[in-house]
């Protein structure tokens, strides 16, 4: 593939922006969590694009892909904890709307 | 690299450097196993204490021998990171002691899980403080954060606690995503994740600076700096108080440790901007605290203000503080004093907290000096130290922060910061007034004094007393600590 | 050919990304997310990252998203989630608008930044996998061995955390509603 | 143990004893406090007698390592000493405290233990401020001495005590924290925290820099004094404080402000002080007149004295910033005088308050008939306060006016007006309290002063007469240091004149 690396970065920036947007405007906690996953993927894509950019025919720069692997791992952990929290809240409230986070007022 | 070379990464120095982490990991696993077997239940506390003590000893010996940069330069065990490590161990130990007998009977079945999670957090903090590579830092951040998300919502039967955990989680994950995207941009610009290499290459151009901005934003979130401080009051108030103590002290210290290590990423011209952000944070924290009637929430706002104060050292360094390690010294000493002060204050609140939130309101503290003079005296010491009175550790912390600014020539931020800490006394003194100068409110007068159960909370009480004494020692004989700064 | 495929997939990934945010039902969101991840996996492959593409499919799509799906099913959100989308907000309406602005702003910054970066064309051989398994393994067990080991603790902690959060409580005789503090 | 450490920290030892005594043993607690302060008083007098006034050097010097600031390795030392600027303050603090403690028999009946504790801690704080000769150590004592008064006003004060105590604390703290920045700046500038060294070197700073540092220091001290326009906290604090709190506040705590102006305003930054002397003289003179007018308008006797305090401290500042030998020595003496006479006034008001439970002027009248001893002491004190020749107030005010006249005649003339006003309002108030017909039934059966009350006032009364008749021994104690100070001011004046003649020098200094 001969696509210039910056096009990959464009795509990643777009995905990241979509994730941020979703995080800020959606109320459903599960969807908010998905938006965070979207943001993580944007970061992964950037890591890979940059790795491709900084690799030469002789030596691959593998810091980026390794980071991406760790990100996938962390994403799994965060998803598990997040969903467990949602279940705990659901048991208490029978609702998963972010607006139900309203017992405390700033 | 060849497979044969791998082993060379793990020489004696590397083992010494990661020994504290290993000790913690082993402690965690042993603790988990002890939870499986009923008969070993009584071993829980000794295991936790022994693990932390052993870890502390290993960190202290690293402080003396300094293994240095290890494992292909991804982790550094120097005097600075060891000093931070000691702070983390102490913070965790204090939080754990305060959690003793804190939870209700219904929450006890998960006590082992609670202790395992608590024991995991210093591992994350040490990775953060010693990280010389963005991946190592990120893993450390998550090793710290994920247990904290669970701990924050540990009182599952309380909506407030679960909400605090969820809120912390959502914003924490959001911040983590910012960090990741930011470091990916830095990587795209420099081709490296090693801090030393990034420093050598230098960060130029919009891509790199955008990445730095995102990374800093996520760090600012962790240390609760404007404009990423909004989560703090709710989360601190909703979490179980010992966990709040850990978040306020350990997490913040770890994030500051990394921030000090990554200050070089910020351009010199950002000094004034950082100073303004820090001052705005102080103002918002102090003004927010002024309006609170719940002491726990008030301390949360005060924590924001303190984060702003420490951030001033970053501004000082960027503006050209001639002392190369001025920021590190100031942040270390400040956070050291803050660990004992804030942990002690939260610990006392945990001690007083029996029937719901009754004892965390100012109203409930009225006249406490008559009923429990020692608790009142200790709380007064903590309040004065938080305010930065001389004779307490808080004062020298403040001194070092302001001196960094003054040396760098940032006089007006120092003056504004000093005046903002006058506001802070407005609410710290309110606590003292409630303790000493107001009669017991009638609602509370009828209730039993609570002295009866003090015996069972002895570890927490002793920990608080030790904190109070240490705060005073840090203020009167600071040489004991200052001479040992890295 | 590969280039055209990349642009098509990019467009699809962005579209499905918007789908995640805009879908009314969480179920639709998750399907969109799945689509987005799939597109990304193919892009990884095209860019020369075979291992990562596999991981993306196996771990992300296969494990994480299934977990999401499972929770949605468990909590029976398929229907509950379909709430009228008001001028909904995470914080409050002003903050949401600010947030949206911030998001768009960030995106623009990212785009501008990316376009200004003077990238040379990629020097790696096209077609050849950049992330050979052996090379990745050497990184994981070499330079990043500490992070790798720490990750195992992270997984352990996650397990403990999830158990502490989600496991049903044993009824412990005493009435659990009383006594928040010390007993 | 050396003398100064002993005298400074003995009260703290007493405080520890108080802490260990059970709260129910009120008699023992009072006894401990009284004995401690008496011993300190004896030590203070001894120190005063042993002090050599003709020398400008620091005497009874204690200099030990304390800690080192990291990075720049600036040593912070435990350095105590007294010189002519501080010896009278130290002696005054030591001598006044037994009186204060003895006066609490009458009005402190609740939480005696805590009260004695804070009183003793406060004495250590105050003595520390006067003897510390390391800037960091000074700052420690300076801020810590706030806390005891905060508790004393807050716990044992009147109706609006919480408002008054917070106001007092925050006002003073605001000044202190601005000063903290200046303290840090000067310490890192000269890489030492030693006050004598700093005093020597700071005058070499460029005037523009000196002025800023001076302003920061002066702000803190002016708030403490309090100089116009920072005086509002004082009236509230005085009014709400218990009698003994007021006495200490007027007698010693406010002197910390004037002492600070002297040591860190003039001694450290003579150039800047010279530059701003007209401003301070003006503020002092206006304070004299304004305080007098305020006092005239008061109906609460305690508030009246608080306002008179503002007026009297105006003299101190006026004399000090005349920057002449007469003015300086007068202002130091006036600090002592103000402590004695205002302290006595507060004590007397406290005594009458204990009997009548009111401080409103119109509640009194004709008391001289029922309480002759009280009347005698009140008249004596008022005359001392109004600077009757032969009593202490006269010497101080005379020297101050003399000094001020040498420097800026205009402000001296205004201050003379203040002297007249001062006499007017003090005598008017006295007349309303003591003489005329007895209009209130309660005033007919007042008990006169008892032996304790007379005894506790005697030392101050004797001092007042002594200073009035023979001020020389007191003034001699300050001679050496003041001569050094005046010489320093002259050098600065010379430099200022030179730079006025050759305007380019300042440019080249930068």
Q: Which of A22, A26, A43 to mutate to test the interface with B (most CBs of B within 10 A)?
A: A43
For residue D138, give both structure tokens.
């000074």
Alpha-carbon separation of residue B11 from B15, B66, C151 (angstroms) = 6, 14, 21
Residue B274: give the domain boundaries: 266-486
Token pair listed for A82: 């997040």
> C147 contacts in B (CB within 8 Å)?
74, 133, 135-136, 139
pLDDT value for B175: 92
Whether B406 and B398 have beta carbons less than 8 Å apart is answered as no
User: What does the pLDDT look like over D29-55, one tens digit per residue?
Assistant: 999 999 999 999 999 999 999 988 888
Q: Provide DSSP, B124-185.
A: HHHHHHHB-BHHHHHHHHHHHHHHHHHHHT--TT-HHHHHHHHHHHHHHHHHHHHHHHHHHH
pLDDT band per the 50, 70, 90 thresholds, residue B162: confident
| Confidence class for position D410, pLDDT limits 50, 70, 90 | confident
Residues 6+ apart with CB under 8 A from B363: B293, B434, B441, B443, B444
Cβ atoms of C55 and A74 within 8 Å: the answer is no
CATH number of the domain within which C44 lies: 1.20.120.1200
B vs D, Cβ pairs < 8 A, gives 88
Over range C118-126, report the average pLDDT. 56
Q: Give the count of alpha carbons within 13 A of D60, CB side only.
A: 28
Token pair 């005296």 is found at: B377
Alpha helix positions (H), D298-391: 301-322, 325-356, 367-370, 372-385
Query: B482 and D69: CB-CB below 8 Å?
Result: yes
Q: Is C98 exposed, middle or buried (0-12, 13-18, 19+ CB in 10 A)?
A: middle
pLDDT mean across residues, chain B: 87
Record: contact B189-C117, CB cut-off 8 A: yes
Chain B residues within 8 A of A6 when measuring between CB atoms: none
> Of the candidates A1, C73, D508, D74, which has an alpha carbon nearest to the alpha carbon of residue B406?
D74
- pLDDT tens sequence across D330-377: 999 999 999 999 999 999 888 888 888 888 888 887 888 888 888 889
What's the whole-number mean pLDDT along residues D162-175? 90
Please list, in sequence order, all residues whose beta carbon lies within 8 angstroms of the beta carbon of residue B201, skipping any fewer than 6 positions away: B190, B191, B192
pLDDT at C22: 85
Q: How confident is residue C84, by pLDDT bands cut at 50, 70 and 90?
A: very low
Preceding omega of B227 cis (within 30 degrees of 0): yes
Decide if C74 and A87 are in contact by the 8 Å CB cutoff: yes
The pTM (predicted TM-score) of the whole model is 0.91
SS3 D83: coil
Closest CA to D462 of D374, D383, D392, D372: D392
CA D210 from centroid of its chain's CA atoms: 26
**pLDDT-derived band of residue B298, with 50, 70 and 90 as boundaries?**
very high
Q: What's the confidence (pLDDT) of residue C116?
A: 56
Q: Which residues contact B455 (CB under 8 A, 6 or more apart)?
A: none
**Secondary structure of residue B78 in the 3-state scheme:** coil
Contact B403 D170 (CB under 8 A): no
- Which chain A residue's Cα is nearest to C144? A66
Tokens of C84: 């009228």
At A106, the pLDDT band (50, 70, 90 cuts) reads very low
What is the percent of chain D where pLDDT is above 70? 98
Structure confidence at residue D392 as a pLDDT band (50, 70, 90): confident
How far is residue B66's CA from residue D474's CA, in Å, rounded to a whole number? 62
Q: How far apart are CA D201 and CA D204, in angstroms?
A: 6
**Overall number of domains in chain C:** 2
Rounded to an integer, the average pLDDT of C62-75 is 84
Look at phi and psi of residue C117 and say left if phi exceeds 0, alpha if psi is from -120 to 50, else beta: beta
Euclidean distance between CA atoms D93 and D339, whole angstroms: 9
- Give residue B24's pLDDT: 94
Do chains A and D have 3 or more beta-carbon pairs under 8 angstroms?
no
- Interface touch D151/B389, C-beta < 8 Å: no
pLDDT of C172 over the 80 cut: no
- Nearest Cβ partner of D188 from B406, B436, B477? B406
Residue B455 has a pLDDT of 45
Query: What's the gap in Å between the CA of B317 and the closest CA on chain D?
Result: 13
Rg of the Cα atoms in chain A: 18
Question: Is D353 within 8 Å of chain B by CB?
Answer: no
The residue written with tokens 């901007």 in the block is B273
For residue D502, pLDDT beyond 80: no
Q: Are residue C72 and residue C148 in the same domain, yes or no?
A: no
Do residues B250 and B88 make contact, with C-beta atoms less than 8 angstroms apart?
yes
pLDDT in tens, D441-485: 777 778 888 888 888 889 899 988 998 888 888 888 888 888 988
Q: Which of C82, C117, C146 is the last residue of a domain?
A: C82
Q: Under an 8 A CB cutoff, do B205 and C113 touch?
A: yes
D207-to-B187, C42, C75, D215, D272 alpha-carbon distances in Å: 51, 72, 75, 12, 7
Kindly state whether residue B84 falls inside one of the protein's structural domains: no
Chain C interface test: which of A25, A49, A57, A90 (most C C-beta within 10 Å): A25
Asked if C119 lies within 8 A of A96 by C-beta distance, the reply is no
Per-residue model confidence (pLDDT) at position B29: 92
Mean pLDDT (chain C) is 74
When scoring A5, A10, A15 by the number of chain C Cβ atoms within 10 A, the one with the most, hence best to mutate, is: A15
Whether there are 3 or more C-beta pairs closer than 8 Å between B and D is yes
Q: Which of A1, A66, A85 sits opposite C136 (nearest CB)?
A: A66
CA distance A20 to B217: 14
In chain B, residues 1-60 whose CB comes closer than 8 Å to chain C: 1-3, 5-6, 9-10, 18, 21, 25, 28-29, 32
| Within a domain: B211 | no
pLDDT of amino acid D444: 78
| Cβ within 8 Å of residue C71, ≥6 positions away | A30, A83, A86, A87, C77
Q: What dihedral angle (degrees, nearest 10) is formed by the CA atoms of B420, B425, B428, B434?
A: -140
Which chain D residues are closer than 8 Å to B389 by Cβ?
143-144, 147
When scoring B290, B420, B429 by the number of chain D Cβ atoms within 10 A, the one with the most, hence best to mutate, is B429
Same domain, C78 and C12: yes
Q: Does the pLDDT of residue B83 top 90, yes or no?
A: yes
pLDDT at residue number C135: 84
Is residue D489 a contact partner of residue D274, using CB atoms and an 8 Å limit?
yes
All structural domains of chain A with their residue ranges: 27-97
The distance of A12 to chain C (nearest Cα, Å) reads 9
Q: Of chain B residues 346-375, which have a CB less than 8 A from chain C?
A: 350, 353-357
Of the candidates B74, B143, B154, the beta carbon closest to that of C154 is on: B143
**Closest to B160 (Cβ–Cβ): which among A46, A71, A104?**
A104
Q: Does the pLDDT of residue C90 top 70, yes or no?
A: no
Task: Answer whether B touches C (≥3 Cβ pairs < 8 Å).
Answer: yes
Provide the number of structural domains found in chain B.
1
Contact between C165 and A87 using a beta-carbon 8 Å cutoff = yes
B442 token code pair: 């009638």
Question: At residue C175, does pLDDT exceed 60?
Answer: no
B39-77: per-residue pLDDT in tens? 777 888 889 999 999 999 999 998 888 888 888 889 999
Does residue D134 carry a pLDDT above 90? yes
Helix (H) or strand (E) holding B118: helix B111-130
Give the domain range for residue C57: 1-82
Cα angle vertex B34, ends B28, B40, to 5°?
145
pLDDT value for D510: 39
């Amino acid at each position: 593939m001969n696509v210039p690396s910056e096009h990959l970065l464009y795509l990643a920036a777009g995905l990241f922006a979509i994730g941020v947007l979703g995080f800020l405007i959606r109320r459903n906690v599960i969807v908010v969590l998905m938006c965070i996953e979207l943001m993580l993927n944007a970061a992964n894509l950037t890591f890979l694009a940059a790795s491709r950019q900084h690799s030469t025919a002789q030596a691959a720069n593998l810091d980026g892909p390794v980071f991406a692997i760790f990100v996938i791992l962390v994403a799994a952990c965060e998803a598990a904890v997040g969903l467990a929290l949602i279940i705990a809240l659901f048991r208490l409230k029978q609702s998963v709307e972010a607006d139900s986070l309203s017992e405390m007022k700033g | 690299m060849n497979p044969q070379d791998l082993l060379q990464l793990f020489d004696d120095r590397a083992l010494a450097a990661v020994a504290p982490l290993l000790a913690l990991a082993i402690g965690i696993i042993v603790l988990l196993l002890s939870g499986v077997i009923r008969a070993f239940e009584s071993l829980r506390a000794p295991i936790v204490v022994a693990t932390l003590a052993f870890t502390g000893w290993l960190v202290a010996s690293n402080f003396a021998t300094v293994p240095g940069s290890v494992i292909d330069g991804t982790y550094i065990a120097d005097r600075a990171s060891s000093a931070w490590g000691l702070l983390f161990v102490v913070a965790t130990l204090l939080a754990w002691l305060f959690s003793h007998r804190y939870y209700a009977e219904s929450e006890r079945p998960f006590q082992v899980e609670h202790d395992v999670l608590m024991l995991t957090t210093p591992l994350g903090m040490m990775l953060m403080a010693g990280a010389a590579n963005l991946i190592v830092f990120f893993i450390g951040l998550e090793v710290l954060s994920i247990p904290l998300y669970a701990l924050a919502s540990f009182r599952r039967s309380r909506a407030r606690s679960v909400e605090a955990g969820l809120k912390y989680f959502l914003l924490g994950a959001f911040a983590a995503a910012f960090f990741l995207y930011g470091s990916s941009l830095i990587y795209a610009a420099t081709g490296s994740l090693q801090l030393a290499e990034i420093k050598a290459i230098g960060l130029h151009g919009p891509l790199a600076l955008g990445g730095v901005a995102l990374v800093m934003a996520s760090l600012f979130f962790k240390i609760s700096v404007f404009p990423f401080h909004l989560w703090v009051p709710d989360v601190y108030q909703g979490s179980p108080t010992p966990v709040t103590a850990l978040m306020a002290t350990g997490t913040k210290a770890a994030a500051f440790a990394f921030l000090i290590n990554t200050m070089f990423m910020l351009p010199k011209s950002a000094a004034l901007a950082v100073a303004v952000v820090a001052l705005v944070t102080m103002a918002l924290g102090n003004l927010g605290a002024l309006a609170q009637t719940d002491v726990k929430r008030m301390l949360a706002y005060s924590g924001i203000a303190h984060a702003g104060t420490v951030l001033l050292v970053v501004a000082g360094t960027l503006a050209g503080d001639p002392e190369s390690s001025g920021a590190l010294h100031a942040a270390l000493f400040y956070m050291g004093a803050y660990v004992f002060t804030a942990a002690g204050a939260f610990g006392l609140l945990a001690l007083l907290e029996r029937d719901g939130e009754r004892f965390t309101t100012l109203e409930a503290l009225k006249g406490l000096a008559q009923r429990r003079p020692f608790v009142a005296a200790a709380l007064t010491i903590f309040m004065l130290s938080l305010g930065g009175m001389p004779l307490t550790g808080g004062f020298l912390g403040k001194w070092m922060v302001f001196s960094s600014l003054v040396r760098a020539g940032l006089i007006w931020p120092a003056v504004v910061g000093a005046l903002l800490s006058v506001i802070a006394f407005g609410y710290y003194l309110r606590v003292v007034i409630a303790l000493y100068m107001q009669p017991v409110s009638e609602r509370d007068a009828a209730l039993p004094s609570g002295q009866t159960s003090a015996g069972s909370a002895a570890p927490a009480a002793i920990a608080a007393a030790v904190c109070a004494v240490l705060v005073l020692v840090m203020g009167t004989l600071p040489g004991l600590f200052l001479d040992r700064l890295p | 050919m590969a280039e055209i495929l990349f642009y098509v997939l990019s467009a699809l990934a962005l579209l499905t990304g918007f789908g995640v945010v805009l879908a009314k039902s969480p179920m639709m969101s998750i399907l969109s997310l799945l689509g987005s991840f799939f597109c990304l996996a193919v892009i990884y492959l095209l860019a020369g990252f075979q291992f990562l593409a596999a991981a993306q499919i196996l771990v992300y799509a296969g494990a994480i998203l299934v977990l999401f799906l499972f929770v949605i099913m468990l909590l029976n959100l398929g229907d509950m989630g379909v709430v009228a989308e008001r001028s909904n907000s995470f914080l409050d309406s002003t903050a949401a608008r600010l947030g949206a602005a911030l998001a768009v702003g960030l995106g623009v910054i990212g785009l501008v930044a990316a376009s200004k970066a003077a990238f040379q064309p990629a020097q790696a051989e096209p077609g050849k996998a950049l992330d050979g398994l052996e090379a990745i393994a050497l990184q994981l067990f070499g330079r990043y061995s500490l992070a790798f080991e720490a990750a195992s603790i992270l997984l352990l902690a996650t397990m403990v955390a999830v158990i502490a959060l989600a496991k049903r409580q044993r009824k412990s005789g005493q009435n659990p509603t009383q006594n928040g503090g010390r007993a | 143990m050396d003398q100064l450490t002993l005298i400074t920290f003995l009260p703290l030892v007493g405080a520890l004893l108080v802490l260990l005594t059970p709260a129910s043993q009120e008699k023992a607690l009072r006894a401990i406090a009284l004995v401690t302060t008496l011993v300190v008083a004896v030590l203070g007098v001894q120190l005063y007698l042993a002090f050599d006034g003709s020398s400008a050097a620091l005497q009874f010097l204690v200099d030990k390592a304390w800690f080192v600031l990291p990075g720049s390795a600036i040593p912070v030392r435990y350095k105590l000493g007294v010189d002519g600027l501080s010896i009278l303050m130290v002696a005054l603090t030591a001598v006044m405290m037994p009186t204060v403690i003895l006066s609490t028999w009458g009005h402190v009946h609740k939480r005696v233990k805590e009260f004695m504790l804070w009183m003793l801690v406060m004495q250590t704080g105050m003595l520390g401020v006067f003897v510390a000769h390391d800037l960091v150590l000074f700052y420690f004592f300076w801020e810590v001495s706030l806390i005891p008064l905060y508790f004393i006003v807050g716990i044992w004060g009147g109706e609006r005590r919480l408002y008054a105590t917070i106001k007092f604390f925050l006002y003073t703290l605001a000044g202190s924290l601005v000063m903290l920045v200046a303290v840090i700046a000067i310490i890192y500038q000269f890489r030492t925290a030693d006050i004598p060294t700093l005093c020597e070197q700071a005058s070499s700073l460029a005037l523009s820099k000196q002025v800023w540092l001076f302003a920061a220091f002066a702000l803190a001290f002016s708030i403490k004094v309090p100089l116009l326009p920072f005086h509002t906290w004082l009236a509230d604090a005085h009014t709400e404080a218990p009698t003994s709190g007021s006495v200490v506040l007027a007698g010693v705590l406010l002197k910390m402000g004037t002492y600070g102006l002297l040591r860190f305003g003039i001694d450290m930054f003579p150039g800047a002080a010279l530059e701003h002397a007209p401003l301070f003289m003006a503020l002092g003179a206006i304070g004299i007149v304004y305080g007098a007018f305020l006092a005239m308008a008061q109906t609460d006797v305690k508030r009246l004295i608080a306002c008179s305090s503002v007026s009297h401290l105006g003299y101190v500042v006026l004399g000090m910033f005349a920057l002449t030998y007469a003015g300086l020595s007068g202002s130091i003496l006036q600090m002592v005088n103000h402590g004695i006479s205002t302290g006595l006034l507060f004590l007397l008001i406290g005594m009458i308050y204990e009997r009548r439970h009111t401080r409103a002027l119109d509640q009194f009248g004709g008391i001289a008939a029922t309480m002759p001893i009280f009347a005698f002491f009140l008249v004596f004190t008022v005359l001392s306060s109004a600077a009757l020749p032969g009593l202490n107030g006269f010497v101080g005010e005379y020297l101050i006016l003399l000094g001020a006249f040498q420097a800026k005649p205009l402000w001296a003339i205004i201050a003379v007006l203040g002297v007249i006003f001062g006499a007017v309002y003090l005598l008017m108030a006295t007349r309303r309290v003591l003489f005329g017909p007895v209009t209130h039934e309660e005033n007919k059966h007042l008990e006169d002063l008892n032996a304790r009350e007379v005894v506790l006032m005697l030392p101050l009364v004797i001092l007042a007469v002594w200073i009035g008749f023979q001020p020389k021994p007191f003034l001699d104690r300050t001679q050496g240091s003041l001569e050094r100070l005046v010489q320093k001011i002259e050098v600065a004046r010379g430099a200022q004149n030179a730079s006025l003649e050759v305007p380019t020098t300042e440019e080249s200094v930068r």
